[in-house]
């Protein structure tokens, strides 16, 4: 069959051509020998023809063996021996065709080992490899004869099961249970767990990557909802995830195409109403999507890693702007606050890059403030604290953003080398609306910040009643539409040069 298919094609690879030619030659020789044998005339030359034929046959089978070995290597993972990503893509391709022809059920389960990097970091890569081998064995033991298991990326496995969603969920539960049992390797005991994303194949899937992307989205959802669990891809997210993927692609070029802009929102002293500084806020003017708010594109930039160059660019612009204002006189008492994502802070090169930007610009580090969100700063305290301490040594000021929305304890808070706490807008909004609870929380935060000798910025101040209450509560700075929305650089400069005082009583 395979040979017939080969003959029916118009183009051949070199090895296929050789195989066809040798087969043809062998067939001619065989025919010659058979005719000679029938006529009882088997001469020397016939004998050598047989020998040549056998040699060719031997050569062909060896060559085939070699080709098969190469093919196996190209399609299998060296460590686990499982089919690799390439093989998986082929298999999904076949499944898509089978689905179109006979609606055959197929569900993909993408299993990603949680915290696997820590296992490698703590115990070493050799230990990590042994864990993966044991995991392979445990997952394989949960599969039916028709299921297909592949290794997918570093610490991921993919199961293709010819079952519907209900059975796939049961299979996922079985895998979760099998993986969770403690694992003893080289006298060390570890507990591993996986997060699983499940996506059933349907008529919307045109290529293997469509299906894998959906399983990946579900897997990340499983991670976000606490890990060590399985989540099914929500098909209502389909349009959304396509839009996100397109935005992600466009955002990768936004910086070099000058589509990003910066806005400056003033921070006002609640003591004398003067402008003390600005918070730098990113804007994306996409020719394709229009103006995209940061809460939409920052998460995309964080997940793709584009936040690193974008964040560093923002910091660089802040430094340049401060220098320019200083050189024109009048801007030397100002601070500019730059938002920093946790993803940036956790990157090993962050500290060096910040140092480089500060040195190149020649700006006074004390006029730069970095804003970190509370929940993120607390989720990885040890590593974060070390980086923050180093940043402080550079002379930079550090602010805790959105305070009150996370779960930081007083003890954790005291370990962070902070200069400023920013009270989240949600509490400020409650001031003046008769919400006694919010007022009590704001009072508590202000008391806490003062006891720690920190500056306090109230965010999202929208009306005079809030301004008066904040002033009475002893809050040092305010920021919000009651004073000013964000401005472009020229407007910001005009504002602080005018020496305007906002009303704060
Ligand atoms: P954020 O750091 O909490 O920034 C304050 C947000 O509140 C800004 O929204 C600002 O325009 C808005 N805001 C200011 N005053 C008021 C007010 O009186 N009322 C209300 N309702 N809102 C007010 P924006 O510019 O849309 O930024 C949203 C978030 O995007 C920021 O929240 C910050 O987390 C993030 N972001 C912005 N720029 C950057 C950046 O350069 N890097 C990073 N990593 N994140 C950024
Ligand atoms: Ca902020
Ligand atoms: Ca904030």
End-to-end C-alpha distance for the chain, whole angstroms: 90
- The answer to whether residue 3 scores a pLDDT higher than 90 is no
Three-state SS for 319? Answer: helix
Confidence class for position 16, pLDDT limits 50, 70, 90: low
Residue 399 DSSP one-character state: E
How far is the centre of ligand 2, averaged over its atoms, from the C-alpha of 230 (Å)?
34
Ligand 1 pocket mutation, candidates 254, 263, 281, criterion most atoms within 8 A of CB: 281
Residues 6+ apart with CB under 8 A from 202: 99
The mean per-residue pLDDT over the stretch 407-422 comes to 80
Q: To 5 degrees, how large is the angle CA 80–CA 81–CA 85?
A: 90
- The answer to whether residue 10 scores a pLDDT higher than 50 is no
CB crowding 286-298: b at 16 or more within 10 Å, else e: beeeeebeeeebb
- The answer to whether residue 377 scores a pLDDT higher than 80 is no
Structure tokens at 474: 């002893």
Which residues in 105-193 belong to E strands, given as ranges? 107-113, 148-152, 156-161, 183-185, 188-190
The mean per-residue pLDDT over the stretch 79-90 comes to 95
- Ordered DSSP codes for 270-291: TTT--EEEEEEEEEEEETTTEE
- Nearest-angstrom CA–CA distance, 416 and 398: 9
Question: Which has more pLDDT, 285 or 42?
Answer: 285
The mean per-residue pLDDT over the stretch 484-501 comes to 95
Place of tokens 């906002």: 502
pLDDT, residue 23, reads 65
- The answer to whether residue 327 scores a pLDDT higher than 80 is yes
- Nearest-angstrom CA–CA distance, 426 and 409: 19
- Report which secondary-structure segment, H or E, holds 80: none
pLDDT averaged over the chain?
87
Highest mean pLDDT (candidates 35-49, 184-198, 306-320, 380-394): 306-320
pLDDT, residue 29, reads 64
The mean per-residue pLDDT over the stretch 233-261 comes to 88
Query: Cα-Cα-Cα-Cα dihedral of 240, 241, 244, 246, to 10°?
Result: -110
The mean per-residue pLDDT over the stretch 376-395 comes to 81
Which atom of ligand 1 is the closest one to the Cα of 461? 18
Place of tokens 């098969």: 68
pLDDT, residue 14, reads 47
pLDDT, residue 430, reads 87
Please, are residues 435 and 427 in contact by the beta-carbon 8 Å criterion? no
Confidence class for position 282, pLDDT limits 50, 70, 90: very high
CA-to-CA dists, residue 486 to 353, 458, 490, angstroms = 27, 16, 12
Ligand 1 pocket mutation, candidates 293, 294, 370, criterion most atoms within 8 A of CB: 294
Ligand 1 pocket: which residues have CB below 6 Å?
Answer: 265, 280-282, 293-295, 298, 311, 314, 339-341, 371, 401-402, 425, 459-462, 480-481, 486
CA-to-CA dists, residue 390 to 52, 121, 369, 422, angstroms = 77, 23, 14, 22
The mean per-residue pLDDT over the stretch 425-440 comes to 85
Which atom of ligand 1 is the closest one to the Cα of 371? 2
- Nearest-angstrom CA–CA distance, 497 and 493: 6
**Cross-strand bridge partners of residue 291:** 285
How far is the centre of ligand 1, averaged over its atoms, from the C-alpha of 281 (Å)?
6
Confidence class for position 486, pLDDT limits 50, 70, 90: very high
Confidence class for position 11, pLDDT limits 50, 70, 90: very low
Q: What are phi and psi of 260, to 5 degrees?
A: -95, 140
Question: Which has more pLDDT, 437 or 24?
Answer: 437
Highest mean pLDDT (candidates 10-24, 47-61, 80-94): 80-94
Rg (CA), the chain: 33
The mean per-residue pLDDT over the stretch 84-113 comes to 93
How far is the centre of ligand 2, averaged over its atoms, from the C-alpha of 472 (Å)?
24
Query: Per residue in 150-199, pLDDT tens?
Result: 998 888 999 999 999 999 999 999 999 999 999 898 888 888 999 999 99
- Nearest-angstrom CA–CA distance, 121 and 192: 14
């Amino acid at each position: 069959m395979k040979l017939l298919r080969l003959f029916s094609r118009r183009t051949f690879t070199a090895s296929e051509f050789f195989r066809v030619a040798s087969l043809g030659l062998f067939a001619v020789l065989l025919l010659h020998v058979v005719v000679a044998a029938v006529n009882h005339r088997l001469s020397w030359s016939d004998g050598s023809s047989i020998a040549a034929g056998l040699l060719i046959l031997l050569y062909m089978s060896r060559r085939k063996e070699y080709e098969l070995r190469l093919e196996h290597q190209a399609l299998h993972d060296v460590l686990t021996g499982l089919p690799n990503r390439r093989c998986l893509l082929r298999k999904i391709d076949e499944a898509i065709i089978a689905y179109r022809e006979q609606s055959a059920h197929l569900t993909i389960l993408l299993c990603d080992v949680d915290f696997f990097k820590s296992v490698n970091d703590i115990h070493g890569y050799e230990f990590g490899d042994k864990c993966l081998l044991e995991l392979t064995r445990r997952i394989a033991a949960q599969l039916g004869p028709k299921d297909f298991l592949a290794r997918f990326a570093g610490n991921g496995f993919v199961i293709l099961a010819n079952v519907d969603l209900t059975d796939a969920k049961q299979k996922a539960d079985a895998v979760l249970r099998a993986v969770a049992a403690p694992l003893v390797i080289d006298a060390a005991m570890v507990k591993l767990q996986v997060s699983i994303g499940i996506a059933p194949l349907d008529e919307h899937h045109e290529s293997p990557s469509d299906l894998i992307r959906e399983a990946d989205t579900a897997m990340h959802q499983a991670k976000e909802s606490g890990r060590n669990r399985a989540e099914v891809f929500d098909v209502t997210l389909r349009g959304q995830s396509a839009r996100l993927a397109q935005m992600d692609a466009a955002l990768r070029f936004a910086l070099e195409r000058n589509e990003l802009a910066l806005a400056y929102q003033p921070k006002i002293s609640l003591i004398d109403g003067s402008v003390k500084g600005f918070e730098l806020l990113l804007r994306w003017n996409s020719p394709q999507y229009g103006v995209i708010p940061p809460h939409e594109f920052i998460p995309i930039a964080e997940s793709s890693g584009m936040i690193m160059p974008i964040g560093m660019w923002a910091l660089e612009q802040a430094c340049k702007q401060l220098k320019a204002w200083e050189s024109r006189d009048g801007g030397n008492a100002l601070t500019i606050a730059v938002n920093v994502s946790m993803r940036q802070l956790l990157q090993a090169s962050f500290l060096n890059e910040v140092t480089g930007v500060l040195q190149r610009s020649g700006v006074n580090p004390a006029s730069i403030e970095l804003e970190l969100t509370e929940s993120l700063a607390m989720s990885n305290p040890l590593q974060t604290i070390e980086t923050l301490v180093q940043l402080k040594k550079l002379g930079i000021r550090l602010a805790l953003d959105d305070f009150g929305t996370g779960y930081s304890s007083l003890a954790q808070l005291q370990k962070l080398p902070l200069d400023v706490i920013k009270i989240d807008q949600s509490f400020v909004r409650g001031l003046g609306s008769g919400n006694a609870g919010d007022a009590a929380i704001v009072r508590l935060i202000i008391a806490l910040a003062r006891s720690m000798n920190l500056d306090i910025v109230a965010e999202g101040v929208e009306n005079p009643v809030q301004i008066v209450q904040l002033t009475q509560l002893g809050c040092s700075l305010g920021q919000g539409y009651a004073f000013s929305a964000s401005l472009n650089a020229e407007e910001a400069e005009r504002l602080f040069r005018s020496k305007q005082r906002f009303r704060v009583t």
